[in-house]
Amino acid sequence: MKKLKSRNNSGGVNAPRRKNGNIDWEVVYPKYVKSIIDGQIAPNTNRGLMYILESKGVLKKSDYSGLTNHLVDWRKVGRIDWKDLADGSGRGVYNDFHDFIHSDDFVNGAVDGLAKCGHKYQRWLRSDWRWYGQPHYTEVWTEKHAVVGTIAAHIAGTYVRVAFNRGNPGWGYIHDNCQRLENEMWYKDINTDEWKRRQIHVWYLGDDDKYGRDMDRQIKEQLEFFGLLNKIEFKRIAILPSQVQEYQLRVDFETGKGYEIDALNAFNPTAFKKLLLSHITPYFDTDIHNQILEEYSAKEINDIAIKRFRSLAL
């Protein structure tokens, strides 16, 4: 196993130390970090791990850079799986493309897709189209990209969109969000076949600090400008002052002021998951969903596909 160099000699009162007084990171990993990761029900961010280690008296504010460096090293040597930490970089590929497929494989895939299109349609109804026909529609918005993966893991299977503003609710960003919400404003009642107004709920998660709280005001101002503030329910569900004690949150270790979203999952992941689902599950009507699955059965869709294919063959 590759030996990792110590990068910091600070540490809290419970920090394991080498003879020279430096933090013994080779003990920090198995004794603390590994147990935290093994017990998490959704990936923590680097900051989330730091909050936990600080609360245990293992690390201090000045150790954050050292922890971040070692988390990279431990992933490089395979001690930590890459998926076990939430990456808050916000990086990605903008213009991405599909790999080349040989013509035979492409045609075979198309034919197979046609033969199984009913089952594929049902899969879409159970996933991306899950909220079709629902009188309510929900989204989760958050201040930080770093916690998006954590939120998504907690609400997996609900197919609720998670949007993030990366600390700045820009006008272009809110404009695009409002356009999407406008498209979700109406739903078709499967019993009456009429289009009806939908109740839209946007649940917001932001830091509880001066700038984080002001962000709520900014977003509401933007929603009002685009004519949606009084048409939807926009509500902060975290972090609230009452949750500081409930989640046993600690003050931001870098500024010493306010509380950050990363700490929610770090200190009480079960309660965090329950908080999220309690704002989603009650607004989804399973009976309507099952009725839609029956209306658009795989057999019915397959029958339509066969008829269309035969007409093309003629």
Which residue matches tokens 């970089």? 89
Do 280 and 227 reside in the same domain of the chain? Answer: yes
Do 284 and 227 reside in the same domain of the chain? Answer: yes
| Residue 282 contacts residue 136 (beta carbons within 8 Å) | no
Does residue 117 belong to any structural domain of this protein? no
Does residue 19 belong to any structural domain of this protein? no
Model pLDDT, residue 95? 77
Do 50 and 196 reside in the same domain of the chain? Answer: no
Strand pairing of 186-188 and 195-197?
antiparallel
The set of long-range contacts for 303-312, using a CB threshold of 8 Å and a minimum separation of 24, is 305/114, 305/117, 305/118, 309/114
Do 68 and 133 reside in the same domain of the chain? Answer: no
Partners of 238 in the β-ladder: 205
Does residue 92 belong to any structural domain of this protein? no
**Greatest CA span in the chain, whole angstroms?**
85
First to last CA, the chain: 67
Does residue 65 belong to any structural domain of this protein? yes
Domain edge (last residue) among 84, 108, 133: 84
Does residue 9 belong to any structural domain of this protein? no
DSSP states along the chain? -PPPPP------TT--B-TTS-B-HHHHIIIIIHHHHHH-SSPBPHHHHHHHHHHTTS--GGGHHHHHHHHHHHHHTTSS-GGGB--------SS--PPP--HHHHHHHHHHHHHTHHHHHHHHHHTTTTTTT-SEEEEEEES-GGGHHHHHHHTTTS--EEEE-TT---HHHHHHHHHHHHHTSEEE-TTT--EEEPEEEEEEE--BSHHHHHHHHHHHHHHHHTT-TTTSEEEEEES-HHHHHHTT----TTTSSSB-THHHHHH-HHHHHHHHHHTTGGG--HHHHHHHHHHT-HHHHHHHHHHHHHHHH-
C-alpha distances (whole Å) from 51 to each of 7, 17, 73, 164 are 19, 20, 20, 22
Q: Give the full edge-to-edge strand order of the sheet including 233-238.
A: 161-164, 136-142, 199-205, 233-238
Do 148 and 267 reside in the same domain of the chain? Answer: yes
Do 73 and 185 reside in the same domain of the chain? Answer: no
Do 178 and 79 reside in the same domain of the chain? Answer: no
Q: What domain range includes position 45?
A: 25-84
Model pLDDT, residue 6? 47
Task: Fill in the amino acid letter for 32.
Answer: Y
pTM score of the predicted model: 0.85
Q: At what angle do helices 117-126 and 298-313 cross, to 10 degrees?
A: 140
| Residue 232 contacts residue 223 (beta carbons within 8 Å) | yes
Does residue 262 belong to any structural domain of this protein? yes
Do 31 and 171 reside in the same domain of the chain? Answer: no
| Residue 122 contacts residue 293 (beta carbons within 8 Å) | yes
Q: What is the sign of the dihedral through the CA atoms of 98, 158, 80 and 259?
A: positive
| Residue 212 contacts residue 143 (beta carbons within 8 Å) | yes
Do 156 and 234 reside in the same domain of the chain? Answer: yes
Does residue 264 belong to any structural domain of this protein? yes
What CATH number does the domain containing 217 carry? 3.40.1360.10
Do 134 and 206 reside in the same domain of the chain? Answer: yes
Does residue 18 belong to any structural domain of this protein? no
Do 55 and 130 reside in the same domain of the chain? Answer: no
Give, for all 314 residues of the chain, the pLDDT tens digit.
555 554 447 888 999 999 999 999 999 999 999 999 999 999 999 999 999 999 999 999 999 999 999 999 999 999 999 999 987 666 767 777 889 899 999 999 988 888 889 999 999 999 999 999 999 999 999 998 889 999 999 999 999 999 999 888 889 999 999 999 999 999 999 999 999 999 999 999 999 999 999 999 999 999 999 999 999 999 999 999 999 988 889 999 889 999 999 999 999 999 999 999 999 999 999 999 999 999 999 999 998 888 888 877 66
Do 271 and 220 reside in the same domain of the chain? Answer: yes
Model pLDDT, residue 308? 84
Domain tally for the chain?
2
